[in-house]
Structure 1
């Protein structure tokens, strides 16, 4: 079984912080060309202040991927830099608590736009590019691309303050399954990774305000700790590689066993 992604080109969204950054750097370390995409331009500049991003395996793109033009520009920048795209990893997401009894749907609309619609749009456009590449290359057999979405355990949990976020995460996971079926005839695989108890940027920020949550998470996680972002990267690499050539439409849970118990009242970010 080959887990190699060497020589492939990947777009990783949400790649300036936490989980997205860890995955993107892991891919570069494994020999892939990677476009680091994020809305946070200053963070991207700081992260690569000592790196020449005009050549080599690393490029950066700053823009709000909820805007259709930015999605098109991201794809164009990737093709200009690397001439193709083989892997898309959507880690771009955000969390906003909400009042579940508030009839104002602004938070829900924002969560759906940020966490599901934007990743769906970029997945659709990237898939079209992958199909066009295969036609141009005359590739009639074998896999031509892999798309991986990052979600959370919130998709299956019902905590009042995370209602909008949970709906958006569940919608994102359903998008994985729907796209997997739609793109299977085109030889593009679509999968997801659902996490909990991972030290994402959102969790870091939350622990600054609620230090007691750390112990609650650890006690409610059978493996007894909070995972580091790079622990998701190996699973994402597997899904992107030929080692997962017969895997599509799956949501793989990386949560240290928390979902088996989940007596924890701490929201999953």
Structure 2
């Protein structure tokens, strides 16, 4: 744990993996700042997490307003120790049916927004010569998965950006890492797989551990990578996938 009250900032923290990470950091003693677009979901998340949680309703595709958001958080809380870029959107369509605007929207949300937010938070971290930036990627960045062209492009960019950021920032005390979740059991994925038994069977057969992951598996990995226990880890893409990437 950091010497002073540690603060973690998590985008998309009101549901799914983001909420699981927010809960883990809060129980680990962090003041947890959750960024999201849906004010009602943010309210519900805060109720679940308790007094350690603070919420800010914000659309991260409003790039020009991100510096003001970061400054507002710094004014309210003093510093940011951990930034987790988790917010994202999905698009499932055959390549030939994807409209330019749809592709751009996915890239803006999943790649450009994490860059802009990381840049602004890094400016603050550079002054303190410490911090951890954690990106959330996807196994889509490492596989060829049909009908997720824009999402795949964005997440591949996230993994490349992780390495580039680590090289630039780590000499100044700022570590940068990335988690690539495999098939994790969330409301969205459960519905999709339950409606496609053949695909679910294929996923499980390829996963050596023989089961889907749960959001807390990702949360625990995020907490470890952000802790002093991972002080010598930077530029890493950590798969949390039950061995799916090495399965046959």
Give the TM-score normalised by the residue count of structure 2: 0.91
Equivalence for 1:110: 105
How many Å separate the matches in 2 of 1:244 and 1:219? Answer: 32
How far did residue 184 of structure 1 move? 1.9
- Residue 209 of structure 1 deviates from its aligned partner by 4.4
Q: What CA distance in whole angstroms lies between the structure 2 residues aligned with 1:78 and 1:57?
A: 15
Is contact 2:178–2:236 with CA below 8 Å preserved after alignment?
Answer: yes
In structure 2, relative to structure 1, the CA distance for the partners of 1:257 and 1:189 (3 Å cut) is same
Query: Gapped runs of 5+ residues in structure 1?
Result: 135-142, 263-269
* Deviations, residues 96-155 of structure 1 (Å, cap 9, x unaligned): 0122234743332122111111011101100001123x2xxxxxxxx6000000111000
Size of the aligned set, in residue pairs, is 247
Measure, in 1, the Cα distance between the counterparts of 2:146 and 2:199.
17
1:25-55 CA distance string (max 9 Å, x none): 1000000011011112211122334777xxx
Task: Let me know the Cα RMSD of the aligned residues.
Answer: 2.1
* 2:204 aligned partner: 218
User: As a proportion of its length, which structure holds more helix?
Assistant: 2
Aligned pair partner of 1:169 in 117, 142, 155: 155
Which position in structure 1 is the counterpart of 2:121? 126
Q: Distance in 2 between matches of 1:28 and 1:49?
A: 12
Identify the residue that residue 32 of structure 1 maps to in structure 2: 30
Shift of the 195–104 alpha-carbon distance from structure 1 to 2, 3 Å rule, reads: same
Cα displacement (A) at 1:192: 0.2
Runs of 4+ more than 6 Å apart: none
2:189 counterpart (203, 210, 214): 203
Unaligned segments of structure 2, at least 5 residues: none
The separation in 1 between residues aligned to 2:57 and 2:63, in whole angstroms, is 14
Which whole-Å CA distance do the structure 2 matches of 1:217 and 1:30 have between them? 32
SS of equivalent residue, structure 1 residue 97? coil
Q: Please, what TM-score do these two structures have when normalized by structure 1?
A: 0.84
